[in-house]
Amino acid sequence: MVDRRTDPGDARFAALFEAHQRHVLAYAARRTRQLSDAEDAAAEAWLIAWRKRDVIPTDPLPWLYGVARRVLANQRRGTLRRFRLALRLTQPEPEVERFGDAEGPAMQALARLRTADQELLRLVAWEGLSQAEIGVVFGISVNAVAVRLHRARQRFEAEYAGVAGLGVKGPAAWRTSGSVKGDFTENVQEERR
């Protein structure tokens, strides 16, 4: 039988907790509306980390963010299920505010993106993770992260332009500085000259 007081795995986990507990809590707090929800999510993430302490990678923070991400997703699903049940039990339907709505145009544009795109952009901007670390969080390759990040940035740019009223009509190559006259093929041949 192993004496838990002298188990080196316990000391390693204690050091891991001391080093990263604030990061995990901050990650959860930036994605929830109430601090108590963030604390619950962080506590559950650490419980999962404790159970899987033998498989925690050498660079644990991205892995911990991945665990917290899944815990928060489960938390949101549970909240949504409870809300839907309450809705069915009451006749008047309350106004529902989407998760992540904010005042500024950047936050409004971010809220219009798919959940995966939002999370990807938040991991880059808010958590400061590299593409390799994001790959660990999502469980995908670095190349897949690069592609998804590129597409998410494009979608964000388009949404931001719409929210901020910038009137961007498409990529620069598609825009024209003047009016297009005549047949399309004539214009293309003129541009090639």
CA distance 53 to 182: 69
Which of these, 12, 73, 83, 5, lies nearest to 44 by C-alpha position? 73
Q: Angle 118-120-124 (CA atoms, 0-180°, nearest 5)? A: 115
CATH for the stretch 8-96: 1.10.1740.10
Sign of the dihedral through C-alpha 69, 126, 139, 67:
negative
Residue pLDDT, tens place only, 2-31:
455 556 678 889 999 999 999 999 999 999
DSSP per-residue string spanning 74-99 = HHHHHHHHHHHHHHHHSSSPPP-PPT
The domain at 101-169 falls in which architecture?
A: Orthogonal Bundle (1.10)
Three-state secondary structure call for residue 169: coil
- Return the SS3 of 141: coil
Helix axes 142-164, 105-112, angle to 10 degrees: 130
| Domain boundaries, given as residue ranges, for the chain | 8-96, 101-169
Mean of the per-residue pLDDT values of the chain: 82
The answer to whether 17 and 56 have CB atoms below 8 angstroms apart is: no
How confident is the prediction along the chain (193 residues), in pLDDT tens digits per residue? 445 555 667 888 999 999 999 999 999 999 999 999 999 999 999 999 999 998 999 999 999 999 999 999 999 999 889 888 888 777 555 554 544 445 788 888 899 999 999 999 999 999 999 999 999 999 999 999 999 999 999 999 999 988 878 765 554 544 444 444 444 445 444 544 4
Q: Give the per-residue pLDDT at 34.
A: 92
